[in-house]
Amino acid sequence: MRQSVLNTEALGRIEGIHQLSTRYNQQVEKPHQQQLLELIRKHIDEIEELFKKNDPHAIIETGDLLILGFEILLENRASIDAVLLRCFQRYETKLSILLKNEKM
């Protein structure tokens, strides 16, 4: 059985958002992945500014950043669940190594 990180409804909504943004970028004749990367950069700048101001909206913008990341995965035909599971393992391993090295 395949392990799922996100439920079926969430994955469906992300796929729907990706279809809409793909259609929009086709209409305005912008390369979709390039546009996604540009939006990611803009969101990072906005999130930094909002956190500097202690504005709680920074959390919502961080959620938007997650959606953009999921779109990049879908744009490249990657499984969101598979990538997240791999990244969880990578982060757990890296952080465990860093913590172990810090104690030495």
In a domain, 87, yes or no: no
Query: pLDDT for 10-53, tens place per residue?
Result: 999 999 999 999 999 999 999 999 999 999 999 999 999 999 99
Number of structural domains (the chain) is 1
Residue % of the chain over a pLDDT of 90: 93
In a domain, 43, yes or no: yes
In a domain, 26, yes or no: yes
In a domain, 89, yes or no: no
In a domain, 95, yes or no: no
Domain carrying residue 31: 8-79
In a domain, 52, yes or no: yes
- 8 Å CB contact between 5 and 81: yes
- 8 Å CB contact between 62 and 40: no
In a domain, 19, yes or no: yes
In a domain, 93, yes or no: no
